[in-house]
Structure 1
């Protein structure tokens, strides 16, 4: 569909703009309703959903636990489709009303941390793990690259390819070009590096994998063929290796509410929750 549009001198919010998330979009911040956040028994209280941004944090927490750190956490489900992120308790944890939000209760008083990259850096520095001591600027560069690049993949390409009211050639072409350029950046870098920072597995990998690993595996927006993801051989090799890490397998299903039932763990409050999920799968197949 081609339609001429002349922007008004002053934009005003007069109607929903269509698309899958239209009912949740608004040009103002703040809470829409009163709702306190639950608090569990562990030092780290995570309020999230298993989007790529949410998976970053649960993967890191599971990696920390796998290394023996005291990083036990409660992961509470925030249903963004229901508007949970606009509850007063969540807005207090994250005034930007986006998942994930972390309340660190390991100290004398609770500390809020929001924005997934900030949460990764906070936890990694706290435990002195999954950081590159020799190549810290390189690690931080790739971490910030992800934070700056993913909106083109999700809010740009993903929105216009999968969620917009109707297909529009110009924005789809524009953002497909950028996503393919980003994958080429990664593919070229990973030709000479096992991980994003040489041979060190760091929070840069943990940040990038849920977005671009998923995309190169053809799982983002059912656009694998459209983006010709199989042509990015080095990126695929990296994505495959990280996908096989046990902590990644656990972390990626926490707060997940879609897909195969055995790949969903709506909330996580103890390591045994994964064992229960496994037993449920055995029972279903018996």
Structure 2
């Protein structure tokens, strides 16, 4: 295992346990995807808080690991070939951790890609659209008199929720009967939409019974409950 001090980010966030996977994150919907995955798989890890209040994500040390200056990012000290592997982008990290552990992504190629397509559905649709609704409903968007931008994102979020609801009507989880990284990606965003963003009524969340059912089942998982508060 190569010394993690070769990575500039460790000068700002020193590793107390350099043999463990190093997670640089915050408890946002994208951030908790990885902490939930780590809790589900049981991989040992060390979490470092990247504070938006102090703009840690813009620091040279963090940008050295993720040039896109977004959380989460990580270093696996025992990556492929025994060499450290730095990674950013939550979707890529989920796939990597699933492959590393053989968990939460089906081994069957067809089923594997069924799960990956729903992961991409979150990354390309659910995350960006729900985030825009959050902006216009809770943050600076309230100051904008023209409500057409907000209404556009609300309509698209409702459409996405209806897609999820139809899928979950015939399946226990998004990719079928087995819980997977697709669910770990999607449901923190659903939780944030109706919780932190306070947009449940705005998007008519009560209409989407299957999404509610799956969200509640997701939130009942002990590993999810632990991962949602990482880093503390």
**1:228 matched to 2:200:** no
Which of 1 and 2 has higher RCO (CA within 8 Å, sep 6+)? Answer: 2
Which residue in 2 is equivalent to 1:99? Answer: 71
Relative to its length, the structure with more helix (as a share) is 2
User: Are the aligned partners of 2:168 and 2:211 in contact in 1 as well (CA < 8 Å)?
Assistant: yes
**1:174 matched to 2:152:** yes
Which residue in 2 is equivalent to 1:31? Answer: none
Q: Could you tell me which of 79, 85, 105 is aligned with 1:111?
A: 85
Q: Distance in 1 between matches of 2:175 and 2:93?
A: 19
Q: Distance in 1 between matches of 2:224 and 2:98?
A: 16
List per-residue Cα deviations over 1:43-66 (Å, max 9, x = no partner): 20000000000010000000011x
Structure 1 unaligned segments of length 5 or more: list them: 1-34, 66-70, 256-265, 267-286
Q: Could you tell me which of 28, 43, 46 is aligned with 1:74?
A: 46
CA RMSD of aligned residues (A): 1.4
The higher radius of gyration belongs to 1
User: Are the aligned partners of 2:22 and 2:75 in contact in 1 as well (CA < 8 Å)?
Assistant: yes
List per-residue Cα deviations over 1:52-108 (Å, max 9, x = no partner): 00010000000011xxxxx10001100012110111111111010000010111244
User: Are the aligned partners of 2:155 and 2:203 in contact in 1 as well (CA < 8 Å)?
Assistant: no
Q: Could you tell me which of 213, 228, 232 is aligned with 1:252?
A: 228
List per-residue Cα deviations over 1:252-277 (Å, max 9, x = no partner): 1112xxxxxxxxxx2xxxxxxxxxxx
Which residue in 1 is equivalent to 2:59? Answer: 87
User: Are the aligned partners of 1:190 and 1:196 in contact in 2 as well (CA < 8 Å)?
Assistant: yes
Moved over 6 A (4+): none
Structure 2 unaligned segments of length 5 or more: list them: 1-10
Q: Distance in 2 between matches of 1:144 and 1:231?
A: 24
Q: Distance in 1 between matches of 2:160 and 2:137?
A: 17
Which residue in 1 is equivalent to 2:104? Answer: 130
Shift of 1:157: 1.5
Q: Distance in 1 between matches of 2:92 and 2:216?
A: 26
Shift of 1:246: 0.5
Count of paired positions: 214
User: Are the aligned partners of 1:45 and 1:103 in contact in 2 as well (CA < 8 Å)?
Assistant: yes
